[in-house]
Each structure stands twice: as C-alpha cells, then as structure tokens.
Structure 1
Amino acid sequence: MCWNTSSAFTPVGLALRCKRTRKIVRTLGDAAQILIKEWPSDDGEEYIAAVKACVDAISGQIAPEQFREALLRAADEAGIAALTVVRR
C-alpha cells in the first residue's frame, strides 16, 4: 500500500466551504483523510467513486493521477473549489 504516494500526483488545493478551511492534497493519505473526515457530504455518486478510486490508488490498482481526476469530479459535485497547486 502506498499511502504517501505523490510522485505522479499533482497536488490539489481544496476550499472546504463547511469549515471555511483550505486544504492541500499532496498524497493519497491526505486525500483519504479529507474524504473520510472532512468532506461535506457522503452520499454523492462522484464522492463514492472518489473514495473507491482512492482505495484503488492506495492498493496500486490505478495510477494516483486517475484518482486525482475522480477527486476533482467529487469536489465539483460537492461545490468545493479546487485549484491545481504549482510547485516552484
């Protein structure tokens, strides 16, 4: 299992409106934490797909970048602003 995989994962900044906080998702572990503990709704189709994709990425069944796309769709579904984080 690759909880901290980040080499092929472009970081995503999320503005969680319910907590008025901003989070940067850099690893699959970060993503799992946010999806399970901080996501505003747990009943959307894209949310469920993102959770499954996170598990699949952690177990090596899909590439981390594929999970990132699922996370972006779930963020859109939940009305969460998502930004690509550019590294310097």
Structure 2
Amino acid sequence: MEWDSSIEFAPVILMFKDPDRVFCVRTAKEAANALIKEFPTDDGEEFLLAIKLCLDVIEGKADPEQLRAAIIRVADEAGVTAIAVLN
C-alpha cells in the first residue's frame, strides 16, 4: 500500500489555552500528530472520526477537505480554538 501523506488542504490554526501551543495543520500527517500529541482529550465522537479520516486521507479513501472540516469540529468539541484559513 502506498500512502500519500503530502496532500495539503487549506490551513487550520489550532490555538490551545497555553499561548505557546499554536499549531498550523495542513496535511493528514500534521493533523494526526496534533490530534494524538496535543489535544486535551482523546475521546469523543468528533475526535474518533478525525483520527479515522487522517488514515482515510493518507490511504486516498477520503477527500482532504473532509479531514479539514473534521479538524474544525473536533477542535470545537475539545474547546480548542480553530482558525480556518482560506486560500
């Protein structure tokens, strides 16, 4: 199986309560790293959907824009500020 981890989507900036924790997410790999390593919670319906979409995008089974929308929803679910940047 060949994974395409370079597919980019319009950036989403994630701002956590600590002002030193700001992340810009543009790829499925960046999204997975932010979700697994940075999010204050690792459960919730939106969190689990976003994790699955990371893998689906990498495998070419889902559109990157679906993942971008999921990142915004999971941020809302977790109380993380998400700024959606438009290209």
Task: Mark the runs of 5 or more structure 2 residues left unpaired by the alignment.
Answer: none
Alpha-carbon distance between aligned partners in 2 of 1:42 and 1:84, rounded to the nearest angstrom: 22
- Aligned residues: CA RMSD: 1.3
Q: Deviations over 1:32-82 (max 9, x none)?
A: 111111111001111011101111111110100011111111111001111
Residues 28 and 64 in structure 1, CA contact (< 8 A), matched pair in contact too: yes
Q: Aligned ranges for residues 1-88 of structure 1 at < 5 Å?
A: 1-6=3-8, 9-17=9-17, 19-20=18-19, 21-86=21-86
Higher strand share: 2
- Between the aligned residues of both structures, percent identity stands at 45
Q: Provide the rounded CA distance (Å) in 1 between the counterparts of 2:62 and 2:78.
A: 23
Q: Which runs of 5+ in 1 are unaligned?
A: none
* 8 Å CA contact 1:2, 1:59 repeated in 2: yes
Could you list the structure 1 runs, at least 4 aligned residues long, displaced by more than 3 angstroms after superposition.
none
How many residue pairs get matched? 84
TM-score normalised by length of structure 1? 0.87
